[in-house]
């Protein structure tokens, strides 16, 4: 499957571009007729020139190229820069033109390499799941900080991640807090397949349960100490405001929601009291312009709950926490 994808991507880079790469390999000071090669620096320069010629922003293009190189070579950015004069491995130089062709077509670098960093771990990703983003790490931080400051009294606290996708939130929380009993749910079976692979990768099969579920549908009669969710929250007509790569490649099911992006929050708000334990709490990632609306939605559904909106590093509304009290969970 990967070879077929590479062949399709390679066709997107015009013959002149592919020819320039082969000529660059041939001109390399390390090249020989028997064993042609190219340095990482030369391959990077060629790729940057191709992307800029295709109309891509130079800074963004360089970021994507360095992401691919560090991910492929399993080194950090400092190690990459210190070793740019080294020869690009044969397996990587064989793939490099197809990877650059994919960037020309706006395919996210994380999908090209098949991994995305999140909270210090590299998660497997492809077009079946959203790419984990740095702002979601702030949501994880909030949950972890609250668990530290206000521990759940249960011996084995339970946590449900609704709309788990790649499993980034659920698996990170499970890895960071070994006492948690975690359930990760998603309506998408293909997404759960990725979460399954990540669960195996991080050795969490015995501590994280995966469930196919439309929000809380599978969990009738079950309660959790903590619920966390990064649901689809983009309004359905917002494509003009989004990056082309997101619109073209990331799954619609994980991006868009009806009613200005609020529909799934509205459904969960009216069911929270049935699925949180006494004094349980729920955490949600939200859109930057949804804080006031969602605070109202959750307060109307749970009049005595504490509802707090938190901002991201840019000062934009990004997360909301709902803390219920015993009388609301009876």
Q: Which residues are annotated as a binding site for S-adenosyl-L-methionine?
A: 163-167, 186, 230
Three-state secondary-structure class, residue 289: coil
* Among 238, 273, 281, 269, residue whose Cα is nearest residue 256: 238
Cα separation, 147 vs 213, whole angstroms: 26
Phi, psi of 271, deg, nearest 5: -110, -5
Q: What is the DSSP string of 251-281?
A: -HHHHB-TTTTTHHHHHHHTTHHHHEEEEEE
How far apart, in Å, do the first and last CA atoms of the chain sit?
51
Cα separation, 203 vs 48, whole angstroms: 38
Q: What are the binding residues? A: 163-167, 186, 230-233
What separation in angstroms does the CA of 78 have from each of 75, 103, 284? 8, 23, 35
Phi, psi of 257, deg, nearest 5: -140, 150
Q: Based on the number of CB atoms within 10 Å of its own CB, is 266 exposed (0-12), middle (13-18) or buried (19 or more)?
A: middle
What separation in angstroms does the CA of 94 have from each of 29, 47, 89, 165? 18, 13, 9, 31
Q: How far is CA 329 from the centre of its chain?
A: 32
| DSSP 8-state code for residue 131 | P
What sign does the CA torsion over 196, 199, 203, 207 have? negative
Structure tokens at 305: 């709950």
Spatial contact of 135 and 47, defined as CB atoms under 8 Å apart: no
Q: What are the binding residues for substrate? A: 230-233
Considering only CA atoms, give the Rg of the chain: 23
Cα separation, 211 vs 218, whole angstroms: 8
């Amino acid at each position: 499957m990967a070879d077929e994808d590479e062949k399709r991507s390679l066709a997107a880079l015009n013959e002149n571009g592919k020819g320039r790469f082969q000529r660059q390999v041939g001109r390399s000071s390390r090249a020989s007729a028997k064993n042609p090669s190219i340095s990482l620096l030369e391959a990077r320069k060629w790729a940057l020139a191709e992307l800029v010629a295709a109309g891509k922003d130079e800074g963004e293009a360089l970021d994507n190229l360095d992401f691919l190189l560090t991910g492929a070579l399993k080194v950090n950015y400092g190690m990459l820069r210190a070793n740019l004069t080294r020869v690009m491995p044969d397996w990587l130089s064989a793939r490099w033109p197809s990877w650059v062709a994919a960037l020309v077509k706006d395919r996210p670098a994380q999908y090209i390499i098949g991994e995305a960093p999140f909270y210090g771990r590299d998660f497997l990703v492809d077009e079946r799941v959203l790419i984990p983003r740095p702002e979601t790490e702030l949501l994880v931080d909030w949950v972890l900080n609250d668990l530290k400051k206000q521990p759940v009294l249960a011996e084995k606290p339970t946590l449900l991640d609704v709309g788990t996708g790649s499993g980034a939130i659920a698996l990170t929380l499970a890895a960071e807090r070994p006492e948690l009993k975690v359930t990760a749910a998603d309506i998408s079976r293909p997404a759960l397949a990725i979460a399954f692979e990540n669960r195996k990768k991080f050795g969490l099969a015995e501590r994280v349960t995966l469930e196919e579920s439309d929000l809380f549908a599978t969990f009738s009669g079950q309660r959790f100490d903590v619920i966390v969710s990064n649901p689809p929250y983009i309004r359905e007509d917002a494509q003009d405001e989004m990056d082309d790569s997101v619109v073209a490649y990331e799954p619609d099911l994980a991006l868009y929601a009806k009613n200005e992006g609020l529909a799934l929050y509205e459904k969960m708000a009216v069911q929270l009291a049935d699925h949180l334990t006494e004094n349980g709490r729920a955490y949600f990632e939200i859109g930057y312009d949804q804080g006031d609306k969602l605070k109202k939605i959750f307060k109307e559904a749970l009049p005595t709950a504490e509802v707090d909106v938190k901002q991201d590093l840019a000062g934009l509304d990004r997360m909301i926490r709902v803390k219920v009290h015993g009388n609301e969970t009876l």
